Chains A and B, each alone.
Chain A
Amino acid sequence: MRKIMTLVVLVALAVSVGTAAFAEADKPLAGRSISIFTAATGKDETFAEFTKDTGIEVHYLEISSGEVLSRLRASGGKNLADAWFGGGVDSYIAAGEEGFLEPYRSPEAELIPDEYKSPEGYWTGLSLVAVDLIVNTDVLKEKNLPLPKTWLDLGKPEYKDELMMSNPTISGTNYAVIFHLIRLFGEEAGWDLLRKMHENIPFYTKRGAAPPNKAAMGEVAIGIDPYDVGVQLIAQGYPVVSIFPEEGVPGFLAPIALMKGAKDMEAAKAFIDWCLSKRGQEVQMTYTAKVGTRPDAEVPEYLQGLKNAKIVVADPVKVGEMRKGILDRWQQEFGSKAEQ
């Protein structure tokens, strides 16, 4: 037994020394470590690939982008992260304006369209997230309801108590939906549809990921869904399907940024470069259902549906400008169901 143990230790030692020596050659930053704030799915697998490629160790914290912003404000910009990966672009815009981000134009970002990049270089678009509907086919069958195909369908009275959406003052995804509907149908018809949908919504949840989960559990028939969440639910075997409403769906940008005062600038930049590289984008698309911003990255088979969907990416600046006006009105008309 003892001999075996010694052998195991020796082999482990040899392997680790060997890998380390090998790593030295083409991984100049091997052995360093960075820390990041992230709001994304599939991050464990993605970061493991990054570490394999570069030898840089990743510590991450799953945290909503809004919370990153409030933490930065509370601490006057001091934080423990070197980079910020994924989440809502509006928080990145605010953080850039408030001086919490370090401008960095990655050489890998050249191919990425300009509208996906901050003009000042504070952040770069990493991927596009879309919104779809997660629909529970068992519930539809049981209640004899037709499959919804359009946004207008969601306002039909037959879906009473079967539609779920999260509170748009909290969830960026659902604010994007409201913004999208108002732009799509116009001010009047847009709010009219929202009013009809409101009649069908039993209550507004407090997290963007909750509605698809409620639909998967069969608590409701339809949940408005940040696409990457629903894909996982389908993979887990829930009786749900993904529907892209025919009028088109809102898409929004998940950016990446370098934090001001990063402890290891070099390694953090290497991380950003990797995430924006062809290989990095392809790795991410394998593990999270978002389409990379880089046109030359191969989109895997399972994401083709998303690639072909009619995605309308809103101008992040405009989305930010109209936020207060839209949400104030929403709060006034519908807030009672979210806040009583």
Chain B
Amino acid sequence: MVPKPSSSTHSKGAFLPDASSVLYALLTGGVLVFILWPTVAILKESVLIDGAFSLERYRDLLTDNRTLLKNSLFVGWWTAVLAVLIGLCCALYVTRTAFRGKRAVLGVLLMTMIAPPFVSSLSYIMLFGRRGLVTWRLLGLRWNPYGAHGVVLMESVGLAAAAAFLIMAELRGIDRSLEQASFDLGAGRWETLLRVTLPLARPGIVTAALIVFIRSLSDFGTPMFIGGNYNVLATQAYMTAMGSFDLPKAAAISTLLVIPAFLVFLVYRKLMAGAPLFSSKAVAAGEERSLPAAVRWFVFAVVWSFVLFEGMKYGAIFCGAFVRTWGVDYSFTLQHLHTLQFSKLASLLRSVRYSFVAALAAGLMGVVLARFLGRRATLFSRIVDFIADLPFILPGPFFGIAYLLAFNRLPEAFLGTGFLIVANCVYRQLSLGIKSGVSVLGQINPELEDAVRDQGGGSLAVLRDVIGPLLMPAFLVSFINTFTFTMTTIGGIIFLVTPYTKVLTAEMFDAIQSGDIGASSVMASVIILVAMTVNTAFSWLLLKRRTKGSEAEYVSSVGAAR
């Protein structure tokens, strides 16, 4: 049958999907398939017993795991308090003092952000174990390094960097003339700090605390290695899946863990709703000596203790790669570098390749989705945005097991090529790309687009000449973040690696498990080196584009949210 010409022309605009609608459908479809569906799959697994609905696994869950839940919340709370304290000190140091060495502090903070998991625990034992270099060899101490104190210490130090960058972004955004006005009106330094600066920085501080809390809850590695007999829910979920092989029970325990995280997350979303990640406010160079002397020296002491601690932590790892047998024979050797032969080298190259693909995908998808979601304030787009945020609170192993359950029946082409590993990383980091995209777009004056259109430019021209260049920083931020994440993550993808798709973090995890300090240190150093190089190179690209008043911390302030 020949279609009527009139109806076809008539319906063109209304019914035939244009390219951008197809793209929108594909991207939102991806969010549903790769985030919502696995999450549903794992929840389903936890309530199905022999194919029938049952809450039996949940019945005893709360009573059985009350101690673990209490431990998780205890560690989360103290980690949040300490990490925010250290983070705030670092942020004040960089933005509100005239002390030297700010670059070094920023460098150490950046390094802390990109450290692969478990590395901290490894060097904690190397330095502060019962036979640690510092505690035993230098100080001759006999103490028990295992327990809640070790977990809280290492988690707070590790997460302090994220807190620092978030608070720093907030402090930099504060209009300095407000502080100046406070001084001019006769307020002292104490009063200005307590009644002007800190209240203005409160959103950043609260956000940092919430993020640290959520990330501490989902950290299973630190308690696993240095908790001793002090267990938390995340470790229990991981061990139930990996040790007792009970996926449904692991799913149920993870769900228990997700509930407090979810509540905190709702608060976080509410807070973040108004806060721009990219501040366009011109930052006036203000009076640097605005802190009371006591605070200034307290900040100085905390920051340099932190820097020293981190320096030792990474120093131990790098040295561990080049000494014969840590703890016994500290003579120099290159023999551990042989670790990088056989399949390890292939795994390293694979890690880099996956990280690059994931970073590219997350960057592009993030900014494009940002454009769609930022413009269409419909219920559907709000739901998609919310779903995209979910992986943020799901512990890595939870999201990994979810992928295993949801996608293991896919054809081999997907399983054997690393598609799932890359997808897992992309979708865990996507929300960050969207957020930075939305934040940038919010600052684009709509009249700019109209102007291009008025001059006869089509929507393509608008994209190419206006939105594209402006979105570039958001893309780069997302790229750097996802690259680093993919290069260093383990919790989620440990369940997804196959004989064909091993990555270096998985190899390192094995080496740490089997206690090979030399090999672990070599792999950890290589991972840090690669991630650091990419971070520096792309931050430089990013900074070249942003000429006014910005520093590398822009990248990190956004990265901190992961």
Identify which of residues 458-512 in chain B touch chain A, using a CB-to-CB cut-off of 8 Å.
495, 497-500, 502, 507, 510
- Chain B residue, CB-CB nearest to A66: B245
B343 engages A60 (CB within 8 Å)? yes
**Which residue of A37, A213, A337 is within 8 Å of B515 (Cβ)?**
A213
**Which residue of B244, B247, B342 is within 8 Å of A48 (Cβ)?**
B342
Report B382-421 CB contacts with A as 1/0, cut-off 8 Å. 0000000000000000000100110011001001100000
**Which residue of B228, B236, B404 is within 8 Å of A74 (Cβ)?**
B404
Q: A35-B500, A60-B343, A238-B325 are in contact. Are A75 and B241 (CB under 8 A)?
A: no
A218 engages B130 (CB within 8 Å)? yes
> Does B229 reach chain A (CB closer than 8 Å)?
yes
> Does A202 reach chain B (CB closer than 8 Å)?
yes
**Which residue of A75, A229, A336 is within 8 Å of B514 (Cβ)?**
A229
Report B224-262 CB contacts with A as 1/0, cut-off 8 Å. 100011110001100101111111000000000000000
Residues of A close to B409: CB separation below 8 A: 75-76, 78
B229 engages A80 (CB within 8 Å)? no
A170 engages B244 (CB within 8 Å)? yes
A81 engages B499 (CB within 8 Å)? yes
> Does A285 reach chain B (CB closer than 8 Å)?
no
> Does B315 reach chain A (CB closer than 8 Å)?
no
> Does B329 reach chain A (CB closer than 8 Å)?
yes
B247 engages A340 (CB within 8 Å)? no
Q: A80-B415, A213-B515 are in contact. Are A35 and B243 (CB under 8 A)?
A: no
A217 engages B244 (CB within 8 Å)? no
Task: State which size class the interface on A falls in.
Answer: 35 or more
A202 engages B144 (CB within 8 Å)? yes
Residues of A close to B242: CB separation below 8 A: 64, 66-67, 70
| B514 smallest CB distance to A (angstroms) | 5
> Does A87 reach chain B (CB closer than 8 Å)?
no
- Chain A residue, CB-CB nearest to B68: A339
Task: State which size class the interface on B falls in.
Answer: 35 or more
> Does B324 reach chain A (CB closer than 8 Å)?
yes
| Bound complex: CA A64 to CA B228 (Å) | 22
Residues of A close to B495: CB separation below 8 A: 71
A207 engages B513 (CB within 8 Å)? yes
Report A43-76 CB contacts with B as 1/0, cut-off 8 Å. 0100010000000000111101011011101111
B247 engages A209 (CB within 8 Å)? no
Tell which of A62, A75, A170, A340 has the most Cβ of chain B within 10 Å.
A62
**Which residue of B241, B325, B401, B499 is within 8 Å of A236 (Cβ)?**
B325
A340 engages B244 (CB within 8 Å)? no
A35 engages B498 (CB within 8 Å)? yes
B245 engages A61 (CB within 8 Å)? no
Residues of B close to A238: CB separation below 8 A: 325, 327-328
| Bound complex: CA A66 to CA B229 (Å) | 22
A237 engages B329 (CB within 8 Å)? yes
Residues of B close to A336: CB separation below 8 A: 229
A61 engages B497 (CB within 8 Å)? yes
Tell which of B125, B228, B243, B416 has the most Cβ of chain A within 10 Å.
B243
Q: A61-B502, A75-B409, A340-B230 are in contact. Are A206 and B247 (CB under 8 A)?
A: no
Residues of B close to A233: CB separation below 8 A: 515
B415 engages A239 (CB within 8 Å)? no
Residues of B close to A339: CB separation below 8 A: 67-68, 229, 231, 236
| Bound complex: CA A340 to CA B235 (Å) | 11
B513 engages A35 (CB within 8 Å)? no
Identify which of residues 299-354 in chain B touch chain A, using a CB-to-CB cut-off of 8 Å.
324-329, 342-343
A73 engages B247 (CB within 8 Å)? yes
Q: A61-B499, A67-B245, A78-B408 are in contact. Are A209 and B515 (CB under 8 A)?
A: yes
B500 engages A206 (CB within 8 Å)? no
A217 engages B327 (CB within 8 Å)? yes
| A83 smallest CB distance to B (angstroms) | 10
| Bound complex: CA A35 to CA B230 (Å) | 38
Report A311-340 CB contacts with B as 1/0, cut-off 8 Å. 000000000000000000000000011111
| A328 smallest CB distance to B (angstroms) | 12
B229 engages A340 (CB within 8 Å)? yes
> Does A287 reach chain B (CB closer than 8 Å)?
no
Q: A203-B146, A337-B229 are in contact. Are A217 and B245 (CB under 8 A)?
A: no
B343 engages A44 (CB within 8 Å)? yes
A70 engages B416 (CB within 8 Å)? no
Residues of B close to A81: CB separation below 8 A: 498-499
Residues of B close to A216: CB separation below 8 A: 327, 515
- Chain A residue, CB-CB nearest to B238: A206
| B215 smallest CB distance to A (angstroms) | 21
> Does A255 reach chain B (CB closer than 8 Å)?
no
> Does B131 reach chain A (CB closer than 8 Å)?
yes
> Does A125 reach chain B (CB closer than 8 Å)?
no
Report A203-217 CB contacts with B as 1/0, cut-off 8 Å. 110110110110011
| Bound complex: CA A128 to CA B415 (Å) | 33
| B65 smallest CB distance to A (angstroms) | 9
> Does B76 reach chain A (CB closer than 8 Å)?
no
Report A231-242 CB contacts with B as 1/0, cut-off 8 Å. 011001111000
> Does B129 reach chain A (CB closer than 8 Å)?
yes
> Does A129 reach chain B (CB closer than 8 Å)?
no
A219 engages B131 (CB within 8 Å)? yes
- Chain A residue, CB-CB nearest to B325: A237
> Does A193 reach chain B (CB closer than 8 Å)?
no
Identify which of residues 135-167 in chain B touch chain A, using a CB-to-CB cut-off of 8 Å.
136, 144, 146
| Bound complex: CA A237 to CA B326 (Å) | 10
Residues of A close to B515: CB separation below 8 A: 209-210, 212-213, 216-217, 229, 233
| Bound complex: CA A206 to CA B235 (Å) | 10
A35 engages B499 (CB within 8 Å)? yes
**Which residue of B146, B329, B500, B516 is within 8 Å of A202 (Cβ)?**
B146
> Does A169 reach chain B (CB closer than 8 Å)?
yes
29 A-B pairs with C-beta separation under 8 A = A35-B498, A35-B499, A59-B499, A59-B500, A60-B499, A71-B404, A71-B408, A75-B408, A75-B409, A76-B409, A78-B408, A80-B498, A202-B229, A209-B514, A209-B515, A210-B515, A216-B327, A216-B515, A217-B326, A217-B327, A217-B515, A219-B130, A219-B131, A229-B514, A236-B325, A237-B324, A337-B229, A339-B68, A340-B67
Ranked nearest first, the 10 interchain pairs of A and B with the lowest CB-CB distance are A213-B515, A75-B408, A218-B131, A170-B243, A35-B499, A203-B229, A70-B245, A59-B499, A203-B228, A61-B499
Known: A35-B500, A339-B67; 15 extra A-B contacts, CB below 8 A, are A44-B342, A61-B497, A61-B498, A66-B242, A67-B245, A78-B408, A80-B416, A169-B244, A202-B228, A206-B224, A209-B513, A209-B514, A237-B328, A239-B328, A340-B230
